[in-house]
Amino acid sequence: MTSHEEQVEADTTSQQLTTPTKGDENIVHNPPFFAKLNSVWHEVDQLRKDECQELVKVAILDTGIDLKHPDFEKPRAISFQQGKPISAAGEPNQKDRIKGCWDCMSGSSKAETMEDCDGHGTKVASIILRLAPGAELYIARISRGNDQRNLDEGGGQEAEQDIDAIIVPRMVVEAIDWAIDRGVDIINMSFGFPEVVTEIQDALKRAQGKGILIFAAAGNGGMYTMPHWPAGDSTIAIGINSCDVYGRKSTFTPWPIADNPNFMVIGEGIMAHWPTTRPYIGPNSIDGFGPVEGTSFATPVAVAMAAIILEFTRRGSAGVIVVVAKYRGTRNHGMGES
């Protein structure tokens, strides 16, 4: 078994394997912030009192997941070396951490029937699986998405195409209620709407009443647009904007709302799983992984951070000073207010 120190060293070393260059300066396979986040999780995990202690449950409402991706049969990747993902030693396979599936399109709860015709949901789920190793996932498929995504372009880094226009509110409500029934702690919504959708608002309030945290993507319209709903409503959700690996605001992230919490998280050049039916084809391809960008993918980074914090609070007070000291300093490189 690889020690914590060896894993962190591998993370730190791998940061240097891909040097940002003009044209793809944000394609860093393992940004320093992600390595620090992994280190923090190991510190939190060492505080585990009971192996049977309930883990943080995260529901993802999206286009499904490609469970046939071969990397999901392995533990999460902690680094990328020589064009290959390096899996964490001694951790469960990612597929085993997916504890429930619900296909709102067909009404099926069978994991073997779950699919992702778009790829958006697979990428979102893979980011949480990689960055929050103590989280269990519950996948709700609320939309087919765009089943032609990237087919004509032949791949390339995805400048995220919103799935918002092809989401039926009724499916979202059904997925939220399903997540509530599973007792999840966090709901990831990497989509939004131009205005309030009353039936979804009511469902989110039901989730809030159960103590569930809602994270939502702000959208990708740029500085002359306002954040989508529910991201723009801080009484309902924690809205997530995007920055690059250097903490600079992404050009596609919306204009911040005055007198409102505006959180900004890395949302460019993130390495994620691409579905087997449409693999990434480009200069930074790594064995089933490829870069993605958009507030849709900044949102699961924020969710992973929240999952680690929740897990920390469940470990008791032992080691608090050590972990807080490790976590201090991530704000300037990962999550801040825009």
Following DSSP, what letter does each residue of 9-70 receive, concatenated? HHHHHHTTSS---TT-TT--SS-HHHHHHHHHHHHHHTT---TTPPPEEEEEEES---TT-G
Please indicate whether residue 106 is annotated as part of the active site: no
User: Could you say which of 62, 185, 233, 244 is catalytic?
Assistant: 62
Residue 85 C-alpha from the chain's centroid: 18
C-alpha–C-alpha distance, residues 254 and 276, integer Å: 32
Please indicate whether residue 164 is annotated as part of the active site: no
First vs last C-alpha separation in the chain: 41
User: Could you say which of 29, 69, 120, 273 is catalytic?
Assistant: 120
Alpha helices (H) in the chain, listed in sequence order: 4-14, 32-45, 120-131, 169-181, 198-209, 295-313, 320-327
User: At 123, which amino acid appears?
Assistant: K
User: Could you say which of 190, 250, 296, 338 is catalytic?
Assistant: 296
Please indicate whether residue 296 is annotated as part of the active site: yes
Give every CB contact of residue 45 below 8 A, 6+ residues apart in sequence: 133, 134, 311
**Residues recognised as catalytic:** 62, 120, 296
